[in-house]
Amino acid sequence: VKSIEFFLDEEPIITIEQLKLWKWISQYYMCSMGQVMKAALPKSFLLESETTLVLKEDSIYSQEDLTDNEFLIVEALENKAVLKIEDIISITERKTVMPIINNLIAKDILTLKEEVKERYKPKTENFVRLHENYANDNDLRTLLNTLERAPKQKDVILALFTLRAKYGDFIKRSVLIERSQSSSNTIKALLDKEILVQEAFRIDRVKSNKEKGSELKTLNTDQQKAIDNIKLGFENSKPVLLHGVTSSGKTEVYVRLILEELEKGNQVLYLLPEIALTTQLISRLQNYFKHKVLVYHSRYTTNERLETWNHILDSKESYVIIGARSAVLLPFSKLGLIIVDEEHESSFKQFDPAPRYNARDTAIVLGQLFNSRILLGSATPSLESYYNVKSSKYYLAKLKRRFNNVLMPEINMVDLKQKLRKKKMKGHFSDTLIAAIQECFENQEQVILFQNRRGYSPFMECNTCGHSPQCPRCDVSLTYHKYKGQLRCHYCGFHTAAPTHCASCTSNDLSTKGLGTEQVEQEFKELFPNHSILRMDLDTTRGKNSYQTIINQVENQEVDCLVGTQMLTKGLDFRNVALVGVLNADSMLNFPDFRSHERCFQLLTQVAGRSGRTNKRGKVLIQSYSPDHQILQQVSVYDYHTMYKQQVEDRYQFKYPPYYRMIKISFKAKDITRVQEAANWFYKGLQPLESVGQLLGPEFPAVARIRNQYLMNIFLKADKKHSIASIKNHINKVKSSFESIAPYRSVRCVIDVDPY
Ligand code: ADP
Ligand code: ZN
Ligand code: ZN
């Protein structure tokens, strides 16, 4: 039995419901509980290498009592008062140092530094504000009257008023005491009486929350009907899918439902596919709900995440928590409503590392744990969710028209084959597109151009011998980035200077093939030298505020045209964009994935939705070599239902979701034969599962080598009538036998449930 050094936490930092949810995640997505915890907990909760060690002040030891490694550590500690565990790892050159450290603790020589505990609390300041009960003048007057008998308390409230004019609702506790010349006890009395409310905030956070929330908008009849419908679903305890066309006012509907929950004192979780892309939405919600909006995202600093975590855990107050997928893992207590906005987005699914969970689907389970209302929203619902509507698992609500009777943009196809034949192309721009852009500019309107590939061109090719430069670490062509004069690998980040001569035959007759955003930008500049253009893709939005800067410039109409990748499709709301041009729809259609048609429909519909959001009808031009393709035809007339019907028929026939469950098992190793052997061995172990549906593979994926690791995949498609638990059980058994085979230790085996 070891003695306890100190308590890390006086109270649990996680909740029972979290444990239940995490357990579900680890079982459903076939990963360990530790992996889920690691994804869930802010880093500083984890006692990893950041723990510091110190020598005990009164420690007595002699070298003979210590092993070599122990002595190394003690010696290092004597030279340097504090060490981190990672220092110990480098001193001892061992991976597992905890046993050594534990021995030194047992020998009473060393201790984990008490300050470890301090790291749990971010640097915060206590703020107080007036309780909501005294929001209106009448209640306030009554309050001041009752405080006549407690003059000190009244002084505090009066001081609070003067300070509020300057600082907003939240006043630093210390400042308030000083201004009112009162004491901590007086404040405490007011807190006890629930006249004041106290919260710990980081100081820079509070500043932005000065003004009062804006008035809510009056809903139109469509929105009101949608809300009534949504509530009908809620009453039947079903998740509700809100299928509302772009700009139909879904967000205002959410706002209304959020307000109701906050008034009940409940928490609301608002999930978004990518926080970085939704600054517009955050400020919209902050406008209404002020300090009640918390944002949680993995890109935030540890301190910020910790602060939010503690707020949700400790505070008795209601909040709306806006977050990307990891927000489903927070310590909620009275979760009244979960909204999953843009529910069709694939980024709700985590690819790597485990847990490979889909936050949308996890949110459904979370909602069931709390009996909360669940609302999924999209202009282009995923086939999975719509299928759940059709099979009566979900309830459906609709918004069929744009807000304020704004018409849906008019979508037209441009046949690239014909344009080429008639020599009507300038670079990648057809005469039709050029004329439409021109017209926009004449009307002082803005244009969005969509090309779902970054860089200048997807590959370079030698016109003499046909050679095209490949990534040395991956089986894929390098993308040409003209702006930087580089060839870059989009899989591993490898880059090299763009060549002037062919590496194979030394010819200097090199050409570029395919189209990326950089090239669109360049051609635009040549076609419209008097107009400005900005590019929005991964390459231009790496800086912390670069994304926001681009949005601001477009919003303020400082720029005429915006070109970008699928980043453009995500919830942007620009007033003055009258035309959206899609330069080439074909690569999206031909992508080798069973979801590519669905995804193409979604991307094009979403990007089209950026056009004409005010009173004038917007225009969309889609250039393609196959303008008659059924998906493009369905996009052009906004026919979600035909798209849905045809796609789910295909899915049924070829045994794909939503009819079948998929599990992907992949193998990775440096040695190609080792990967093949391992995958084949595993496949044999899975053969008893052939009867549940279909077992495919092992097969090399389209890009068979990434970062010098070869990949092989096995896909299991299981008919939903079979018990998924026993299927997973079988896979887990095969996996543990697999892991005990020595030659396969160098092969990484990754299981992905419901892969994307
Ligand atoms: P969606 O989320 O469906 O794309 P939004 O909620 O962003 O649609 O609404 C589109 C536009 O219409 C926004 O500019 C929004 O402010 C405005 N809008 C929506 N509902 C109302 C309303 N009830 N009153 C006034 N303006 C509204
Ligand atoms: Zn060549
Ligand atoms: Zn690479």
Burial label for 554, CB within 10 Å (0-12, 13-18, 19+), is buried
Q: Tell me which residue has its CA closest to atom 5 in ligand 1.
A: 249
Q: Is 578:615 a contact under the CB 8 Å cutoff? A: no
Determine the pLDDT at residue 184.
86
Q: What is the pLDDT of residues 667-677, one digit of tens each?
A: 999 999 999 99
Query: 561: annotated binding-site residue?
Result: no
Helix (H) or strand (E) holding 310: helix 302-314
**Contacts (Cβ under 8 Å, ≥6 apart) of 493:** none
Q: Is 513:461 a contact under the CB 8 Å cutoff? A: yes
* Global model pTM greater than 0.95: no
As for the ipTM of the complex, it is 0.96
DSSP E strand boundaries for 6-151: 52-55, 82-84, 110-112, 125-130
Q: What mean pLDDT do residues 100-117 have?
A: 75
The b-or-e profile of 130-155 (16+ CB within 10 A means b, else e) is bbeebeeeeeeeebeeebeeeeebbb
Distance CA 72, CA 82 (A): 14
- The alpha carbon of 355 and the centre of ligand 2 are apart by a number of angstroms equal to 45
Q: Tell me which residue has its CA closest to atom 9 in ligand 1.
A: 249
Q: What DSSP designation does 529 have?
A: T
Structure tokens of 534?
Answer: 């900005």
Name the residue among 528, 535, 582, 533 with its Cα closest to residue 560.
Answer: 533
Distance CA 688, CA 682 (A): 12
Determine the pLDDT at residue 125.
66
Share of the chain above pLDDT 90, in %: 61
Q: CA separation (Å) from 738 to 130, 206, 677, 747?
A: 62, 54, 11, 10
Query: 600: annotated binding-site residue?
Result: no
**Secondary structure class of 139 (helix, strand, coil):** helix
Distance CA 672, CA 743 (A): 13
Q: What is the pLDDT of residues 422-463, one digit of tens each?
A: 999 999 999 999 999 999 999 999 999 999 999 999 889 999
Ligand 1 atom closest to 284 (CA) = 16
- The alpha carbon of 123 and the centre of ligand 3 are apart by a number of angstroms equal to 42
Residue for token pair 């905890």: 98
Determine the pLDDT at residue 113.
67
Q: What is the pLDDT of residues 492-543, one digit of tens each?
A: 888 999 999 999 999 999 999 889 999 999 999 999 999 999 999 988 888 7
> Residue by residue, what is the 3-state secondary structure of 477-510?
ECEEECCCCEEECCCCCCEEECCCCCCCCCCCCE
pLDDT at 401 over 90: yes
Q: Is 473:496 a contact under the CB 8 Å cutoff? A: no
Burial label for 189, CB within 10 Å (0-12, 13-18, 19+), is middle
Q: State CA 511 to chain mean position distance.
A: 37
Distance CA 408, CA 380 (A): 14
Burial label for 89, CB within 10 Å (0-12, 13-18, 19+), is middle
- Looking at the CA of 507, which ligand is closest? 2
Cβ neighbours around 417 below 10 Å, total: 11
H-state helical runs in 350-415: 359-370, 383-390
DSSP E strand boundaries for 571-633: 577-582, 619-624
The b-or-e profile of 664-684 (16+ CB within 10 A means b, else e) is bbbbbbeeeebbbbbbebbbe
Ligand 1 atom closest to 245 (CA) = 3
Determine the pLDDT at residue 124.
58
**Contacts (Cβ under 8 Å, ≥6 apart) of 160:** 128, 130, 171, 176, 180, 196
CA torsion angle for 233, 237, 243, 249 (degrees, to 10)?
A: 70
Residue for token pair 């609500």: 397
Distance CA 192, CA 152 (A): 15
Q: Of the ranges 162-176, 214-228, 339-353, 488-502, which one carries the lowest mean pLDDT score?
A: 162-176
**Contacts (Cβ under 8 Å, ≥6 apart) of 689:** 695, 716, 718, 727, 730, 731
Highest mean pLDDT, choosing among 189-193, 614-618, 644-648: 644-648
The b-or-e profile of 474-500 (16+ CB within 10 A means b, else e) is bbbbbbbbbeeebbbbbebebeeebee
Query: 502: annotated binding-site residue?
Result: yes
CA torsion angle for 406, 596, 542, 46 (degrees, to 10)?
A: 110
- Looking at the CA of 705, which ligand is closest? 3
Determine the pLDDT at residue 59.
76
pLDDT at 367 over 70: yes
**Secondary structure class of 146 (helix, strand, coil):** helix
pLDDT at 19 over 60: yes
Distance CA 193, CA 83 (A): 47
Distance CA 214, CA 307 (A): 26
Name the residue among 398, 425, 368 with its Cα closest to residue 640.
Answer: 398
Query: 462: annotated binding-site residue?
Result: yes
To the nearest 10 degrees (0 to 180), the angle between helices 279-289 and 250-263 is 40
Distance CA 518, CA 516 (A): 6
Ligand 1 atom closest to 220 (CA) = 23
> Residue by residue, what is the 3-state secondary structure of 641-703?
HHHHHHHHHHHHHCCCCCCEEEEEEEEEECCHHHHHHHHHHHHHHHHHHHHHEEEEEEECCCC
Ligand 1 atom closest to 246 (CA) = 4
Determine the residue type at 98.
M
Q: What is the sign of the dihedral through the CA atoms of 179, 182, 183 and 184? A: negative
pLDDT at 276 over 70: no
- Looking at the CA of 475, which ligand is closest? 3
Strand partners, 415: 624
Mean pLDDT over each residue of the chain, to the nearest integer: 89
- The alpha carbon of 255 and the centre of ligand 1 are apart by a number of angstroms equal to 11
Structure tokens of 226?
Answer: 């949608």
Rounded to 5, what percent of the chain is helix, strand, coil? 45, 20, 35
Q: Is 374:366 a contact under the CB 8 Å cutoff? A: no
Q: Count of H helices and E strands in the chain? A: 26, 31
Residue for token pair 């005294």: 134
Q: Is 564:602 a contact under the CB 8 Å cutoff? A: no
To the nearest 10 degrees (0 to 180), the angle between helices 137-146 and 151-167 is 150
Strand partners, 321: 269, 294
Q: How far apart are the first and last CA of the chain?
A: 48
Distance CA 382, CA 477 (A): 31
**Contacts (Cβ under 8 Å, ≥6 apart) of 184:** 177
Structure tokens of 624?
Answer: 């393609």
Question: Phi and psi of 261, rounded to 5°?
Answer: -65, -45
- The alpha carbon of 600 and the centre of ligand 3 are apart by a number of angstroms equal to 26
**Protein residues with CB under 6 Å of any ligand 1 atom:** 217-220, 223, 244, 246-252, 403, 573
Distance CA 511, CA 615 (A): 45
Q: Tell me which residue has its CA closest to atom 25 in ligand 1.
A: 217
Structure tokens of 618?
Answer: 């917007």
Cβ neighbours around 192 below 10 Å, total: 9
Q: What is the pLDDT of residues 312-331, one digit of tens each?
A: 887 777 899 999 999 999 99
Determine the pLDDT at residue 156.
93
Mutating to test ligand 1, I would choose from 570, 573, 611, 613 the residue with most ligand atoms within 8 A of its C-beta, which is: 573
DSSP E strand boundaries for 313-365: 320-323, 335-341
